[in-house]
Amino acid sequence: MFDYETRRKSLYERMANLGVDLVFLPPSGDLEYLTGFKRRVPAFGNIEYAHSWVTGCFLAPDREPAFVLPRMVVAFDTPDGLIGDVTIVAETDDSDAAFRRVAQSFGAVSRLGIGARAWADTTAALLALLGSCELVSADRLVNPMRRVKSSDELERMAKACRIVDETLALVSPSVRAGTTELEIARDVDFHMRELGSVVPSFDTGVFSMGAASERDASVRLSAGRLVPGMGVSFDFGAVVDGYCSDFGRTIHVGTPSREYERVYEVVMAAQAAGIAAARPGVRASAVHAATRQVIVEAGLGEWFRHRTGHCIGLDVHERPFISEEDDTPLEPGMTFTIEPSVFRPGRYGVRVEDVVVCALSGSRKLNEYPVTLVANG
């Protein structure tokens, strides 16, 4: 159990510093971080109930968290209960009145922080109910808190990383000619669940690139069978107590060419350079530059078309990004991916990805899976 009360106290201090009177958060990583309200497993498309627009929680100093939730959410999506005040909106209730009653109980509001995942209907209702208050993104309040992980958070993330490490060890022998990408992806998802992941942290990618196909990395999964001469790239992650991992390797089918071996060596060297550069006070953009430089100097810069990485935690992609536009200084306890890749359709495809934690002594991987070249005959 995390200390949600202490987290909320930190939020209230930040609210006071930024002149924010009230915060409303829908179901999200932010709300889970501050209250323990667990998110439902993501799905393709909307999952919603009657009055879904009210779903969320008001947060303000000297008040308990004030949830407004449709009856179905309370009945089916809160198995561990909730800490705070809960207003339940049944199907035939007047949701406008219920939401208004809770929102206006906080008194005059001049500046409202609202979560990025709030419904448009929710935002419109808040503006109508609270008058001419100024809206600000709650991300400015919560993200600086979430980006630095506690030892308890790092423990969960390390477990999520162990799950993906063990999963690839289990499926690696099946990466051979004749096996389909779908079969491998199925096994990846099964083993992650079997090893303790609540759900994949995003859609599992298993995609082969090489001389036998003009396919690009934008096609993340197919029903095609693996053939010799192709590098099979993996991109998948696990979730433990809400905390994500994000992981990648490339396994070659058959005997690799010297060109493939060289590209593989360059990508692994680029990751090592990025990890070495990632120290407290260094800007995220500088870590990206250090990673990219290795690939550019090898003459492969045109085919490194991805950013170097992103922060990670309760969401698989969190800010700041390890990317050329992001000048955020790294801090001890930040967790982020270092994931260089070189994808050239019709020639080769290689990627590597690990979760890294920034520390005073330098950054270290949470993953332990080796980066040595693997080629299955």
345 three-state secondary structure: coil
Per the document, the length of the chain is: 377
pLDDT of 148 over the 80 cut: yes
Query: Is there a contact between 304 and 290 (Cβ–Cβ < 8 Å)?
Result: no
Give me the mean pLDDT over the 71-87 stretch: 92
pLDDT for the residue numbered 356: 98
Query: Is there a contact between 291 and 330 (Cβ–Cβ < 8 Å)?
Result: no
AA identity, residue 57: C
Give me the mean pLDDT over the 233-246 stretch: 98
Give me the mean pLDDT over the 113-119 stretch: 95
d(CA 201, CA 41): 9
pLDDT for the residue numbered 47: 82
- CATH, domain range 151-376: 3.90.230.10
Run of H or E residues at 184: helix 181-194
- Nearest Cα neighbor of 208 from 174, 185, 247, 234 is 234
- Nearest Cα neighbor of 229 from 255, 249, 259, 207 is 255
Taking CA atoms, 343 is separated from 80, 216, 363, in Å, by: 45, 7, 26
> What tens digit of pLDDT does each residue of 194-209 get?
999 999 999 999 999 9
pLDDT band at 135 (very low <50, low <70, confident <90, very high): very high
pLDDT for the residue numbered 40: 84
pLDDT for the residue numbered 285: 98
- Phi then psi for residue 237, to 5 deg, are -155, 160
Q: Name the burial class of residue 122, with classes exposed (0-12), middle (13-18) and buried (19+) by CB atoms within 10 angstroms of its CB.
A: buried
pLDDT of 161 over the 80 cut: yes
- CATH, domain range 4-145: 3.40.350.10
- Phi then psi for residue 228, to 5 deg, are -60, 150
- Mean of the per-residue pLDDT values of the chain: 96
Lowest mean pLDDT among 37-51, 245-259, 309-323: 37-51
3-state secondary structure 208-242: EEECCECCCCCCCCCCCECCCCEEEEEEECCEECC
pLDDT for the residue numbered 357: 98
- Nearest Cα neighbor of 248 from 338, 333, 330 is 338
pLDDT band at 43 (very low <50, low <70, confident <90, very high): low
pLDDT of 45 over the 80 cut: no
d(CA 107, CA 124): 18
How is the chain split into domains, by residue range?
4-145, 151-376
pLDDT for the residue numbered 331: 98
